Amino acid sequence: MGIKAAAFDYGKVISFPPDHGVMDELAAIGGVKREDLESLVWKFRGEYDRGLLNGQEYYRKILERLDVNPPDETLKKMAEIDMYSWKRVNPGTVKLMEELKKAGLLLGILSNMPHDFLAWARKTIPVFSLPHVGIFSCEALSIKPEEAIYRKLLSALGCRGEEVVFFDDVLENVNKARELKINAFLWKDPENARQELAGLGVQF
């Protein structure tokens, strides 16, 4: 049957992870402890990625749980810092994506992503114009590892799971993709991805 498409997660796969100091900066602006903020940032991230909250609403909800009621300007600043922390793209991943597309594979991005970042990224980060298909949680109203978002990817690509290879940095997301027969791999780096692709017979 062969591989017809390759899809990539965005955060920590196409992009580099945020600098370690970003969470400290957010905590300082919000007037809370880093460890308190960090636990709630991930607890409520699903609602943000699903598109149920915008950036300011997301941080308001977090800080209210910590008995802090900041002004809108503080919330706006925190949301912007969060958003910009994900803008650094890994050139090695982008090069791999470009080579796969040039070789004739369908190219996709499958990522949990809030409306705020997606709207900004489509205007300012060139890699977002590279894939044939982009499936984002805020638009799909489903987040990984829910089955629905993977189904949307396969439908948009027009491929069966066996015809798609997918890279993600979260094992739970990889495992769900594998349940749908997608050739999914835990992301390490572009060179490792090349090896996995070669093992599937992808030539590029």
Amino acid sitting at position 195: Q
Query: Does the N-terminal peptide bond of residue 18 adopt cis geometry, omega within 30 degrees of 0?
Result: no
Strands 133-136 and 5-8: unpaired
Please measure the distance between the N-terminal and C-terminal CA atoms of the chain and give it in whole angstroms: 17
Residues 6 or more apart whose Cβ sits within 8 Å of residue 98: 130
Handedness of CA 177, 182, 183, 187 (dihedral sign): negative
Please, are residues 169 and 18 in contact by the beta-carbon 8 Å criterion? Answer: no
pLDDT at 168: 98
- pTM for the full model? 0.96
What pLDDT, on a 0 to 100 scale, did the predictor assign at position 8?
98
pLDDT, one tens digit for every residue, the chain (204 residues): 699 999 999 999 999 999 989 999 999 999 999 999 999 999 999 999 999 999 999 999 999 999 999 999 999 999 999 999 999 999 999 999 999 999 999 999 999 999 999 999 999 999 999 999 999 999 999 999 999 999 999 999 999 999 999 999 999 999 999 999 999 999 999 999 999 999 999 999
* Residue 186, number of CB atoms within 10 A of its CB: 14
b/e string for 132-149 if b means 16 or more Cβ within 10 A? ebbbbbbebebbbbbeeb
**CA–CA separation, 62 vs 42, rounded Å?**
10
Question: Any idea where the domains of the chain sit in the sequence?
Answer: 5-16+88-199, 21-84
What pLDDT was estimated at residue 69?
94
- Helices vs strands, H then E, count in the chain: 11, 5
- Check residue 1 and give its pLDDT: 60
Superfamily (CATH) of domain 5-16+88-199: HAD superfamily/HAD-like (3.40.50.1000)
